[in-house]
Amino acid sequence: METILFRNADKTFLFPDKKRLKQFIEYLFKKEKKGLYELTYVFCSDEYLLGINRDFLKHDYYTDIITFDLSENPKQIIGEIYVSLDRIKDNAKTLKTSVKEETLRVIFHGALHLCGYKDKTKTDSMKMRKKEEQYLSLYNLSLEK
């Protein structure tokens, strides 16, 4: 059984070297001292994710990511992370970064939620952003090797 799965809903995620990315996500969980059992990323459109946001969270707005912690045992994390590729593309333009960089940031963001990081308050959001940047740097460094 694979620990990390990438699935497509109504959009296709095309990312070179998915194997390396999966290994790095596993590394992130180890570094955060969290036991990862199974993690599924589902790549989709704004409309698909809006439906999930409305149905499950009762929110009526677009978002780039929704993370569901399905774990029954805190030592064996099981999660589903839904990622809007439309929102990533728009955010990359707004933030003046590449789509690849923004995709990685969002992927790590979801994993960090499962590791216990929050982003609802300004302080929590700053901690989350710092961790995202840390893992983006580490991932980019690992590509140079």
Residues 91-137: tens digit of each pLDDT: 999 999 999 999 999 999 999 999 999 999 999 999 999 999 999 99
Whether residue 88 has pLDDT greater than 90: yes
Band of residue 142 on the pLDDT scale cut at 50, 70, 90: confident
CA distance 93 to 142: 25
Residue 78 has pLDDT above 90, yes or no: yes
* 46-73: b (≥16 Cβ within 10 Å) or e: bebbbebbeeeeeeeeebbbbbbeebee
**What would the pLDDT profile of 13-37 be if each residue is shown by its tens digit?**
888 889 999 999 999 999 999 999 9
Q: Model confidence over 42-63: pLDDT tens digits?
A: 999 999 999 999 999 999 999 9
Mean pLDDT (the chain) is 94
- Tell me the pTM: 0.94
Residues in the chain: 145
Residues paired with residue 7 on neighbouring β-strands, in sequence order? 42
Given a contact cutoff of 8 angstroms between Cβ atoms, the answer to whether 80 and 90 are in contact is no
The architecture in CATH of the region 4-144 reads: 3-Layer(aba) Sandwich (3.40)
Query: Could you tell me what percent of the chain has a pLDDT over 90?
Result: 89
Separation in Å, CA 87 to CA 17, 29, 105: 22, 25, 13
